[in-house]
Structure 1
Amino acid sequence: MIAEYAESPVCRVDEMADGELREVRVEDTDVLLARANGQFYALHPKCSHYEGPLAKGVLHGNRLICPWHNACFDVRNGQRLESPALNGLTTHEVRIENEQVFVRLTSNVPSRENPLVAPEEENPETFVIIGSGGAGAFAAEALREGGFTGKIVMLTESGEAPYDRPNCSKEYLQGKAPDEWMPLRTDEFYADYGIEIRTGQHVTSLDPAAKRIGLASGDTLTYTKALVCSGGKPNVLPVPGAELEGVYPLRTLHDSQKLRELGKQGKRVVIIGSSFIGLEGAMSLRKLGSEVDVVGLEKVPFEKILGEKIGRVMQGWHEKEGIRFHLGRKVDQFKGNGSVNAVVLDNGEKLPADFVLVGLGVKPRTDFLKDIALEKDGGVKTDGFLQIAEGLYAAGDIAHYPTDDGLQRIEHWKVAGLQGHVAGLNMAGNEEPYRSVPFFWTNQQGKRINYVGHATKIDDIIYDGDPENDDNFLALYVQDNQIKAAAGLKRDQDIIAIRELMQEGRMPSVEDARKGVEWVKELTV
């Protein structure tokens, strides 16, 4: 128990500049000290998501941004501003005496919830959330954060309440994350805030005119407002033998559990797909002891997203761990008698397989929507506030949302969480446009690549550092003579700065960027 009077001098006023972050000690407790707009603030020093070291992040105005996964907090009060963090940060008292900064510990609890209202029985409105992924989880809390006191019902096909889906291809699949890490919140949390989660519910129809939802059970549910964040359905490979036992996707907690048990047995696995999920799955199953072969259409992994040079480097990371690649190849068929035992490629090569992981992306799950126009890929078009019809909103993998470059649809956890949060606030009566620049991360053989922005094609790449020879690098992706995206290894602060500059419309020209990347230091010093 920390005594209320625990206090220490931590620095002099003139020792820290605006925008500076510093980890200090108050007796035996680590504290993050920050200076923003001339004011000093003291907070818990670790991100509430995965305990990233916030002193290595960036302070931009009042926005405190974690270096690992770009969770964002308000430095003034510790409140969480952006996913993937759910909780805010504990704050401590700061006082200044004789130009000396003192910090007084006020709590030994590292994180705290954003202020949420409690449900009220007299409120007759019912808001329904279809989906329990990142968008649904953050939307439910945003409704209470935005002041909605009516009934909240979350419908999910899953047998679980919202959980940490990105971990399904990483530590959890590797057996390094226990089951208790996976739920985003406790059952008590949802009960306390009146968020009713109905698991095992398959939605068969949604009529926006009648505001009625049909379920496979035959039940119907009417709503005042609804959010569709039903996510995606894993793409299947339309080849002979695709229905064989032992051919699995990697999308859900159950998928990860099944693959983990197989991986522990040291079996032979063939992975179809050489992008992020496929190679995170390859990494994790290899760590469990499986023999791993990866089949991909691209001649180089990630070539369309990260470019050939970085793709080859990342392929090399996996090959050093014993993963074999078969690139520029298609699957001709899966062989087996009841259960898969081999994968035959289009060149006739036959790869032995005790099981197969198909990681070929997802298709938006929207087939239950009535009288809602779908985009070519099955997604839905939203307005700038993520609304698709009167009282009906969309977020996450299914949402095509407007940007200065036209409609975008992004499949990533942080984006889904951000959209769910904004949609929830808007359903509660706010009018907040969704304008966040996309960000995602991937873990490839213990190396975290962070990516910000969105490029549909790569005209050129500007490098700071050499991916083939350096242990850190920054890549700027040029499309139509503008920098549309960036990726970095061990360049966390630079990636944060680029995202902040993109959101403010202050990115440099391509010509200036070619002269050097000193401009990214504008937000990091």
Structure 2
Amino acid sequence: MIADYTEAPVCHVDDMVDGELKEVRVGDTDVLLARADSQYYALYPKCTHYQGPLAKGLLNGHRLVCPWHNACFDIRDGHRLEAPALNGLPTHEVRIENDQVFVRLTTNKESLENPMAALDDAASETYVIVGGGGAGAFAAEGMREGGFTGKIIMMTESSEAPYDRPNCSKDYLQGKAPDEWMPLRPDEFYKDYGIEIRTNQQVTLLDPTKKQIELASGETISYDKALICSGGKPNVLPGLNTNLKGVYSLRSLHDSQTLRDLGKQGKRVVIVGSSFIGLEGAMSLRKLGSEIDVVGTEKTPFEKILGEKIGHVIQGWHEKEGIRFHLGRKVDHIEGEGTVTAVILDNGERIPADFVLLGLGVKPRTDFLKGIALEKDGGVKTDNYLTISDGLYAAGDIAHYPVADGFQRIEHWKVAGQQGHTAGLTMAGKDEPYTAIPFFWSNQQGKRINYVGHITQIDDIIYEGDLEKDDSFLALYVQDGQVKAAAGLKRDQDIIAIRELMHEGRMPAVETIRNGLKWVEELKKA
């Protein structure tokens, strides 16, 4: 507990400039000091998502962005503005006296919920969320933040309430994250705010005309508004014998638990797919003691996403840990009578295997929608407010949403959470268009790569830093004469600045960038 009145001078009034962040000490407590519009603000110094050090983040106006996973907060009241953080930051009192800045501690809490409405039993409306992932979790809270007091029902096929899915391929799979870390919220939270979570529920039909949802159990639920955030179904190998045991995907908490138990037994594992899930799975299973072979169709991992040079560097990180690669190859078939024994490649190479992990991406799970036009990949098209039709919305992996040059569909945790929150607010009557710039992160052998923007074809890459030394680099991806994406290692502030510039429509021209820019300074230009 902090004292009832703990106050201390922390700096001179002119010691900091607008946009500056600094961690200070008040008594025995660390405090983040921020300055914007000539005003000082004091907040809890760590991100409420994974406790990232906010002093190493970036302040753009009143927007405070975490360096690790780009959660965003308002320094004026501490409210959480963007996923992946769920809670906001506690604030402390600031006063100025004789040109000294004083901070008075006013709370001992590490996080605060954004203000939310409670369930009113007298309210007649029912909102249904189909899907219990990040989009669904943030949507339910967005509805309550937007003032909706009616009934909220979340339907999920999972046996779990919403949990931290990105961790399933990282620390949790490695056995470094205990079970209690995984739920996004305790059960009491959902009870307190009247959010009914129905697990093990398979939706077989959603009829937007009747505004009804049918379940595999035979039950029918009527809704006033519904949000579809049903996520994706893992892709499988063509011609795979579905009765063959020992072939797994990594999509759920249960998948991660199963693979973790197998990985500890020192098994021989073949991973099919050399992108993010495949290589995060390879990293984690290798740390558990498994022998790992990775098969990928690309000649270099991540070639189409990060480029050949960075892909080659990342491959080297994994090879140093004993992971073997078979690239530019396809799986011809999987051997085994009842259980996997080997993977046969298209060149005849035979790789012994005790089990196989498929990391081949996902397909939108939308087969239960009636009368809704689907895109070629199975997704659904929305407007700027994530609306499909009257009273029906979409968010997350299934949503094709409008951008300046068409539509795009993104399969990232932060995007899903922010889309869910935006849809929830809109459904509650707080119309808010979705305009966020995509962001994701990946842990490759303990090195966090942050990626911002979206690109469908790499025309050129502008590099900053020495890729071979792999201590820090920034890559800017050019398509149609514009920088549309960037990836960075230990360039957290630069990635944040680029994302903010993209959001504000202020990205410099390619030729200007080639001449060298300091991104944080560029952001602060009027």
Quick check: 1:51 aligned with 2:51? yes
Tell me if the contact between 1:241 and 1:336 (Cα under 8 Å) persists in the aligned partners. Answer: no
Tell me if the contact between 2:494 and 2:519 (Cα under 8 Å) persists in the aligned partners. Answer: no
Alignment-derived partner of residue 187 in structure 1: 187
Task: Give the whole-Å Cα distance in 2 for the aligned partners of 1:250 and 1:98.
Answer: 59
Q: Secondary structure of the residue that 1:384 maps to in structure 2? A: coil
Alignment-derived partner of residue 481 in structure 2: 481
Cα offset for 1:405? 1.6
Tell me if the contact between 1:22 and 1:34 (Cα under 8 Å) persists in the aligned partners. Answer: yes
Q: Secondary structure of the residue that 2:92 maps to in structure 1? A: strand
Task: Give the whole-Å Cα distance in 1 for the aligned partners of 2:524 and 2:264.
Answer: 43
Aligned AA for 2:432?
Answer: E
Tell me if the contact between 1:26 and 1:103 (Cα under 8 Å) persists in the aligned partners. Answer: yes
Quick check: 1:126 aligned with 2:126? yes
Quick check: 1:203 aligned with 2:203? yes
Task: Give the whole-Å Cα distance in 2 for the aligned partners of 1:388 and 1:504.
Answer: 26
Alignment-derived partner of residue 384 in structure 1: 384
Quick check: 1:224 aligned with 2:224? yes
Task: Give the whole-Å Cα distance in 2 for the aligned partners of 1:353 and 1:43.
Answer: 52
- What does the per-residue CA deviation read over 1:221-274, in whole Å, with 9 as the maximum and x for residues that have no partner? 000000000000000111344541110000000000000000000110000000
Alignment-derived partner of residue 69 in structure 1: 69
Quick check: 1:334 aligned with 2:334? yes
Task: Give the whole-Å Cα distance in 2 for the aligned partners of 1:247 and 1:509.
Answer: 47
Task: Give the whole-Å Cα distance in 2 for the aligned partners of 1:524 and 1:345.
Answer: 53
Cα offset for 1:106? 0.6
Task: Give the whole-Å Cα distance in 1 for the aligned partners of 2:300 and 2:281.
Answer: 17
Cα offset for 1:524? 7.2
- What does the per-residue CA deviation read over 1:193-226, in whole Å, with 9 as the maximum and x for residues that have no partner? 0000000000000000000000000000000000
Q: Secondary structure of the residue that 1:14 maps to in structure 2? A: coil
Aligned AA for 1:204?
Answer: T
Report the TM-score when normalising by structure 2.
0.99
Tell me if the contact between 1:241 and 1:333 (Cα under 8 Å) persists in the aligned partners. Answer: no
Q: Secondary structure of the residue that 2:423 maps to in structure 1? A: helix
Tell me if the contact between 2:124 and 2:150 (Cα under 8 Å) persists in the aligned partners. Answer: yes
Task: Give the whole-Å Cα distance in 2 for the aligned partners of 1:200 and 1:132.
Answer: 10
Alignment-derived partner of residue 271 in structure 1: 271
Tell me if the contact between 1:336 and 1:342 (Cα under 8 Å) persists in the aligned partners. Answer: yes
Tell me if the contact between 1:74 and 1:80 (Cα under 8 Å) persists in the aligned partners. Answer: yes
Q: Secondary structure of the residue that 2:284 maps to in structure 1? A: helix
1:122-521 equivalences under 5 Å are 122-521=122-521
Consecutive unaligned residues of structure 2, counting only runs of 5 or more, are: none
Cα offset for 1:519? 4.2
- What does the per-residue CA deviation read over 1:8-64, in whole Å, with 9 as the maximum and x for residues that have no partner? 100001000000000000011100000011110000000000000000000000000
Report the TM-score when normalising by structure 1.
0.99
Cα offset for 1:430? 1.4
Aligned AA for 2:155?
Answer: L
Aligned AA for 2:184?
Answer: L
Task: Give the whole-Å Cα distance in 2 for the aligned partners of 1:185 and 1:35.
Answer: 32
Task: Give the whole-Å Cα distance in 2 for the aligned partners of 1:381 and 1:55.
Answer: 39
Task: Give the whole-Å Cα distance in 1 for the aligned partners of 2:180 and 2:21.
Answer: 32
1:97-116 equivalences under 5 Å are 97-116=97-116
Alignment-derived partner of residue 6 in structure 2: 6
Task: Give the whole-Å Cα distance in 1 for the aligned partners of 2:27 and 2:264.
Answer: 45
Aligned AA for 2:158?
Answer: S
Tell me if the contact between 1:241 and 1:335 (Cα under 8 Å) persists in the aligned partners. Answer: no
Consecutive unaligned residues of structure 1, counting only runs of 5 or more, are: none
Cα offset for 1:471? 1.0
Cα offset for 1:378? 0.1
Cα offset for 1:523? 3.5
Q: Secondary structure of the residue that 1:337 maps to in structure 2? A: coil
Q: Secondary structure of the residue that 2:336 maps to in structure 1? A: strand
Aligned AA for 1:287?
Answer: K
Tell me if the contact between 2:455 and 2:477 (Cα under 8 Å) persists in the aligned partners. Answer: yes
Tell me if the contact between 2:127 and 2:223 (Cα under 8 Å) persists in the aligned partners. Answer: yes
Task: Give the whole-Å Cα distance in 2 for the aligned partners of 1:520 and 1:272.
Answer: 39
Task: Give the whole-Å Cα distance in 2 for the aligned partners of 1:37 and 1:439.
Answer: 27
Cα offset for 1:451? 0.3
Tell me if the contact between 1:58 and 1:524 (Cα under 8 Å) persists in the aligned partners. Answer: no
Tell me if the contact between 1:58 and 1:523 (Cα under 8 Å) persists in the aligned partners. Answer: no
Task: Give the whole-Å Cα distance in 1 for the aligned partners of 2:262 and 2:40.
Answer: 52
Cα offset for 1:468? 1.8
Tell me if the contact between 2:498 and 2:519 (Cα under 8 Å) persists in the aligned partners. Answer: no
Q: Secondary structure of the residue that 1:431 maps to in structure 2? A: coil
Cα offset for 1:168? 0.2
Tell me if the contact between 1:464 and 1:517 (Cα under 8 Å) persists in the aligned partners. Answer: no
Q: Secondary structure of the residue that 1:11 maps to in structure 2? A: strand
Aligned AA for 1:80?
Answer: R
Tell me if the contact between 2:342 and 2:353 (Cα under 8 Å) persists in the aligned partners. Answer: yes
Q: Secondary structure of the residue that 2:414 maps to in structure 1? A: helix
Alignment-derived partner of residue 79 in structure 1: 79
Q: Secondary structure of the residue that 1:434 maps to in structure 2? A: coil
Task: Give the whole-Å Cα distance in 2 for the aligned partners of 1:24 and 1:120.
Answer: 43
Alignment RMSD: 0.9
Task: Give the whole-Å Cα distance in 2 for the aligned partners of 1:191 and 1:485.
Answer: 41
Task: Give the whole-Å Cα distance in 2 for the aligned partners of 1:91 and 1:113.
Answer: 12
Task: Give the whole-Å Cα distance in 1 for the aligned partners of 2:430 and 2:7.
Answer: 40
Cα offset for 1:518? 2.2
Task: Give the whole-Å Cα distance in 1 for the aligned partners of 2:329 and 2:379.
Answer: 29
1:26-45 equivalences under 5 Å are 26-45=26-45
Cα offset for 1:521? 2.6
Task: Give the whole-Å Cα distance in 1 for the aligned partners of 2:242 and 2:369.
Answer: 28
Aligned AA for 1:149?
Answer: T
Larger deviation: 162-171 or 462-471? 462-471
Tell me if the contact between 1:127 and 1:226 (Cα under 8 Å) persists in the aligned partners. Answer: yes
Cα offset for 1:303? 0.3
Give the count of matched residue pairs. Answer: 525
Tell me if the contact between 2:329 and 2:346 (Cα under 8 Å) persists in the aligned partners. Answer: yes
Taking structure 1 as reference, are residues 460 and 520 closer, same or farther at Cα in structure 2, changes over 3 Å only? farther
Q: Secondary structure of the residue that 1:344 maps to in structure 2? A: strand
Aligned AA for 2:455?
Answer: A
